């Protein structure tokens, strides 16, 4: 009967086990849930109304902003500002910290999100997602917010998750005691527990990487790729290559079926020597989820959750997925480092 449990009920049950809980975390989460429903509504009618296409603006990452990105960003900022649980927030689309407007109640949590990840896929009706990551500030709530309050290593996350707008809309998250997945039932407008206690297979049959960047990779990265091509042959079961180009979708498929997602560093753009993905709003939340599901996430050699960010929009190479597959990658980079 797990389908009968709503995400809110699940949170309330969980909260009872946390004596310190004040209900603020639940309020924060409820605003995330409402935002997810609002974004789902717009995404699902995107082909019908004039929300597709570019706004013409360039975001802080130097990329063109899609209208749905902008809508999602506005919804999240508006809703989360009002939850009374946040000291501040940050978005992939905003250069700086987003402060809570004067007059609204505040709290100790800090949330960073990617409002609509994989947005280059929107016009083709390919699945996209929202990613979020929640921390608790370190300094006292009545003092000025410090950089160290939000530039925390991923292992300090209180919760992390994503919403996948796919053939159905799903919310998958962890609060540090396993990973649960909830599917939106549009007929009742509730996220219902559909994937309790998700565990990623120890080894997968899939690798996901943009192989088009092959010529921009260093030797160890080429060796990693060769490993997944050859390993399939030695175990007489080839790996499949699956790359949607939408992190939430690629990650979610590998979480369910097993496999590894890779976005290595490359030499395409000297201003982005660490690859494309952002540590705080993409890599760290996925790393928290995958570890809670029994998998691993590294930047090649280091655990993603141990990296202390130097700034909000720091980029990092990412190898995330089934434990044995990620361990193979680490062994190759370690060997190259020691050579």
If binding is defined by CB under 5 A, does position 114 make contact with Mg ion? yes
When computed from its CA atoms, the radius of gyration of the chain, rounded to whole angstroms, is: 20
Stretch that binds ligand AHM, among 15-23, 26-34, 71-79, 114-122 (CB under 6 A): 114-122
Helix (H, G, I), strand (E, B) or coil at 245: coil
C-alpha neighbours within 13 Å on the C-beta side of residue 67 = 12
Residue 54 φ/ψ, nearest 5 degrees: -90, 150
Site string for ligand AHM, 160-199 (x = CB under 6 A): ----------------------------------------
Binding residue for ligand AHM, selected from 79, 252, 276, 323, defined by CB under 6 A: 276
- Residue 69 contacts Mg ion per CB under 5 A: no
- The correct pick among 31, 70, 117, 299 for binding ligand AHM (CB under 6 A) is 117
Rounded Cα gap, residues 256 and 294, in angstroms: 12
* 335 CB burial (10 A radius; 0-12, 13-18, 19+): exposed
Tokens of 227: 């490993």
Q: Does 118 bind ligand AHM (CB under 6 A)?
A: yes
Instruction: Report the residue from 23, 53, 189, 245 that binds ligand AHM according to the rule CB under 6 A.
Output: 245
The interface region with ligand AHM, picked from 44-52, 112-120, 232-240, 302-310 by CB under 6 A, is 112-120
Q: What is the DSSP string of 155-167?
A: GG-SEEEEEEESS
Lateral strand order in the sheet of 260-263? 240-241, 206-208, 260-263, 318-321, 296-298
Q: Does 157 bind ligand AHM (CB under 6 A)?
A: no
Output the residue with the shortest Cβ distance to Mg ion.
117
Pick the stretch among 116-124, 193-201, 251-259, 327-335 that binds Mg ion (CB under 5 A).
Answer: 116-124
Angle in degrees, 0-180, between the axes of helices 323-338 and 219-234, rounded to the nearest 10: 140
79 is an interface residue for ligand AHM by CB under 6 A: no
Q: Is 210 near ligand AHM (CB under 6 A)?
A: yes
Residue 157 burial by CB count (10 A; 0-12/13-18/19+): exposed, middle or buried? buried
Specify the stretch interacting with ligand AHM by CB under 6 A; choose among 6-14, 162-170, 239-247, 306-314: 239-247
Question: Binding string, 215-254, against Mg ion, x = CB under 5 A?
Answer: ----------------------------------------
Token couple for 326:
């990620």
Query: How many Cα neighbours within 13 Å face the side chain of 214?
Result: 5
Taking CB under 6 A as the rule, which mask of x and - marks residues 279-318 in contact with ligand AHM?
Answer: ----------------------------------------
3-state secondary structure of 296: strand
Residues that bind ligand AHM (CB under 6 A): 63, 92, 114, 117-119, 210, 245-247, 276
């Amino acid at each position: 009967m797990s389908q009968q449990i709503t995400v809110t009920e699940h949170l309330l049950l969980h909260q009872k086990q946390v004596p310190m809980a004040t209900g603020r975390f639940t309020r924060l989460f409820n605003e995330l849930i409402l935002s997810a429903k609002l974004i789902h509504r717009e995404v699902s009618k995107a082909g019908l109304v004039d929300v597709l296409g570019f706004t013409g603006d360039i975001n802080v990452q130097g990329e063109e902003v899609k209208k749905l990105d902008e809508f999602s960003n506005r919804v999240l900022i508006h809703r989360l500002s009002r939850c009374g649980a946040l000291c501040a927030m940050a978005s992939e689309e905003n250069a700086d910290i987003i402060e809570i407007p004067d007059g609204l109640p505040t709290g100790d949590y800090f949330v960073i999100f990617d409002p609509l990840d994989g947005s280059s896929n929107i016009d083709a009706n390919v699945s996209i997602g929202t990613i979020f990551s929640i921390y608790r500030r370190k300094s006292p709530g009545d003092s000025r917010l410090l950089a160290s309050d939000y530039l925390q290593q991923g292992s300090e996350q209180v919760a992390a998750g994503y919403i996948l707008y796919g053939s159905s809309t799903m919310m998958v998250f962890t609060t540090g005691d396993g990973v649960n997945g909830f599917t939106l039932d549009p007929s009742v407008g509730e996220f219902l527990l559909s994937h309790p206690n998700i565990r990623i297979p120890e080894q997968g049959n899939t690798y996901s990487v943009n192989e088009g960047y092959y010529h921009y990779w260093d030797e160890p990265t080429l060796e990693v790729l060769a490993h997944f091509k050859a390993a399939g042959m030695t175990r007489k079961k080839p790996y499949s290559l699956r790359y949607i180009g939408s992190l939430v979708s690629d990650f979610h498929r590998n979480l369910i079926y097993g496999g590894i997602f890779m976005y290595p560093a490359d030499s395409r753009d000297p201003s982005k020597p660490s690859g494309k993905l952002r540590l705080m709003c993409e890599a760290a939340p996925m790393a928290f989820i995958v570890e809670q599901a029994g998998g691993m996430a590294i930047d090649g050699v280091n655990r993603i959750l141990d990296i202390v960010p130097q700034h909000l929009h720091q980029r990092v190479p990412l190898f995330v997925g089934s434990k044995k597959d990620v361990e193979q990658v680490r062994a190759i980079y370690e060997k190259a480092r020691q050579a």
